[in-house]
């Protein structure tokens, strides 16, 4: 397989977000957070990846405390749990005290697992660090005082956008459709790694150590092993999050207030004025045409997830503005 970079092997730390699926997410028959986590730890073990941090929202555990046993499994398998807020609101939708309160709420819930992790890490929801300078400073100062290190995402692949289509496909028992989605999911993971690694080389003239993100979705659980096979075949070297965090691209905070949904590589590209491509792949629109039904589109499911956050946290959800490089 064509290697990710012409410069040599690319270091990638795997990270996992939202092992407890967001409230309002459909769960296909025969799937659960437990079964997805088990599939993922098997894939990680298969590829020799240990010490993988899972950053999860915790609101679903209010409805079903049994869900927290997923964290037991994750830690038993040699991985770690870290804070990602309780309700998973974008920081754009709430004020600083609300966001901080939501971080504290999760810490109370996850303390018995997070306290065993070598590092006290935090990841912002949607990788959004504050849409105003004041908010960014207020939450950032709180996190620093509490001893958290902030972990960005350098490569994502919009994997949660496949959630609705995969659910519809499984519900329709469309075997060919399921196979098609799995193929496209793996292809998208490869495509996005190539794209963002190229963007990073455009900024740095080298390959920084990347922090890759996958979410705890049913499709993610079904495909992680194959994705990691492809990564390895394309000269990816899996490293720990601690090693990736030592790279200045990840360790330093880009001096930029970002209301947009963009990740670390592209934030730095915007800081330095390097033209890069961060447009979403066409496949995301194409899969919404498969087995459409009222109330079952990705947009309608997202609206329900956001309504839940609005109702319980008093958040004011709004669409994210696009950055110039996303148009
Ligand atoms: Zn998240």
pTM equals 0.98
Query: What is the whole-number distance in angstroms between the Cα of residue 125 and the centre of ligand 1?
Result: 5
Residue 282 counted as domain residue:
yes
The one-character DSSP state at 288 is G
Residue 117 counted as domain residue:
yes
Query: What is the whole-number distance in angstroms between the Cα of residue 121 and the centre of ligand 1?
Result: 14
Query: What is the whole-number distance in angstroms between the Cα of residue 18 and the centre of ligand 1?
Result: 5
Query: What is the whole-number distance in angstroms between the Cα of residue 229 and the centre of ligand 1?
Result: 24
Query: What is the whole-number distance in angstroms between the Cα of residue 2 and the centre of ligand 1?
Result: 31
Task: Quote the pLDDT of residue 258.
Answer: 85
Query: What is the whole-number distance in angstroms between the Cα of residue 261 and the centre of ligand 1?
Result: 12
Q: What single string gives the DSSP state of each residue in 130-189?
A: -SSHHHHHHHHHHHHHTTPEE---SB---GGGGHHHHHHHHHTT-HHHHHHHHHHHHHHH
Q: Which residues share a beta bridge with 150? A: 122
Is residue 147 pLDDT above 90, yes or no?
Answer: yes
Query: What is the whole-number distance in angstroms between the Cα of residue 255 and the centre of ligand 1?
Result: 22
Query: What is the whole-number distance in angstroms between the Cα of residue 201 and the centre of ligand 1?
Result: 26
Residue 1 counted as domain residue:
no
Half-sphere exposure of 39 (CA within 13 A, CB side): 22
| CB of 186 closer than 8 Å to CB of 3 | no
User: What is the mean predicted confidence (pLDDT) over 49-55?
Assistant: 97
Residue 169 counted as domain residue:
yes
Half-sphere exposure of 305 (CA within 13 A, CB side): 23
Query: What is the whole-number distance in angstroms between the Cα of residue 82 and the centre of ligand 1?
Result: 12
Q: Which residues share a beta bridge with 56? A: 83
Residue 305 counted as domain residue:
yes
Query: What is the whole-number distance in angstroms between the Cα of residue 234 and the centre of ligand 1?
Result: 27
What CATH number is given to the structural domain containing 39? 3.20.20.370
Residue 2 counted as domain residue:
no
Query: What is the whole-number distance in angstroms between the Cα of residue 304 and the centre of ligand 1?
Result: 16
Query: What is the whole-number distance in angstroms between the Cα of residue 9 and the centre of ligand 1?
Result: 28
Query: What is the whole-number distance in angstroms between the Cα of residue 152 and the centre of ligand 1?
Result: 11
The C-alpha atoms of residue 8 and residue 15 are separated, in whole angstroms, by: 22
Total tally of structural domains belonging to the chain: 1
Q: Could you give the percent of the chain with pLDDT greater than 90? A: 99
Residue 18 counted as domain residue:
yes
Q: Which residue has tokens 């589109």?
A: 297
Query: What is the whole-number distance in angstroms between the Cα of residue 215 and the centre of ligand 1?
Result: 7
What is the extent of the structural domain holding 62? 10-321
Tell me: the pLDDT tens digits for 148-188?
999 999 999 999 999 999 999 999 999 999 999 999 999 99
Query: What is the whole-number distance in angstroms between the Cα of residue 161 and the centre of ligand 1?
Result: 13
Residue 5 counted as domain residue:
no
Query: What is the whole-number distance in angstroms between the Cα of residue 57 and the centre of ligand 1?
Result: 7
Query: What is the whole-number distance in angstroms between the Cα of residue 124 and the centre of ligand 1?
Result: 7
Query: What is the whole-number distance in angstroms between the Cα of residue 1 and the centre of ligand 1?
Result: 31
pLDDT band at 203 (very low <50, low <70, confident <90, very high): very high
Tell me: the pLDDT tens digits for 231-270?
999 999 999 999 999 999 999 999 999 899 999 999 999 9
Closest of 187, 190, 227 to residue 43, by C-alpha? 227
User: What is the mean predicted confidence (pLDDT) over 194-203?
Assistant: 98
Query: What is the whole-number distance in angstroms between the Cα of residue 22 and the centre of ligand 1?
Result: 8
Average pLDDT, the chain: 97
Query: What is the whole-number distance in angstroms between the Cα of residue 8 and the centre of ligand 1?
Result: 31
């Amino acid at each position: 397989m064509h290697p990710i970079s012409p410069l040599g092997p690319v270091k990638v730390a795997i990270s996992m977000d939202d092992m407890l699926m967001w409230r309002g997410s459909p769960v296909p028959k025969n799937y659960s957070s437990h079964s997805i986590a088990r599939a993922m730890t098997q894939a990680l073990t298969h590829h020799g990846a240990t010490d993988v941090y899972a950053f999860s929202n915790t609101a679903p555990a209010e409805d079903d405390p049994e869900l927290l046993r997923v964290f037991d499994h994750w830690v038993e398998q040699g991985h770690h749990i870290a804070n990602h807020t309780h309700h998973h609101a974008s920081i754009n939708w709430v004020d600083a005290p609300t966001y901080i309160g939501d971080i504290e709420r999760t810490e109370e819930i996850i303390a018995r697992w997070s306290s065993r992790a070598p590092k006290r890490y935090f990841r912002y929801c949607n990788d959004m660090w504050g849409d105003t300078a004041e908010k960014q400073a207020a939450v950032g100062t709180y996190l620093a005082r509490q001893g958290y290190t902030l972990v960005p995402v350098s490569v994502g692949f919009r994997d949660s956008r496949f959630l609705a289509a995969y659910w519809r496909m499984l519900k329709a028992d469309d075997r060919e459709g399921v196979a098609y989605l799995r193929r496209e999911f793996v292809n998208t993971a490869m495509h996005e790694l190539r794209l963002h690694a190229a963007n990073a080389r455009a900024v740095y003239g080298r390959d920084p150590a990347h922090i890759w993100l996958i979410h705890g979705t049913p499709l993610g659980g079904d495909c992680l092993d194959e994705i990691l096979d492809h990564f390895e075949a394309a000269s990816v070297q899996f490293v720990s999050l601690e090693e990736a965090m030592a790279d200045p691209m990840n360790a330093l905070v880009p001096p930029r207030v970002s209301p947009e949904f963009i990740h670390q590589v592209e934030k730095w590209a915007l800081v330095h004025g390097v033209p890069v491509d961060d447009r979403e792949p066409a496949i995301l629109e194409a899969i919404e045409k498969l087995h459409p039904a009222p109330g079952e589109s990705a947009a309608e499911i997202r609206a329900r997830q956001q309504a839940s956050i609005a109702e319980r946290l008093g958040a004011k959800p709004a669409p994210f503005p696009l950055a110039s490089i996303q148009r």
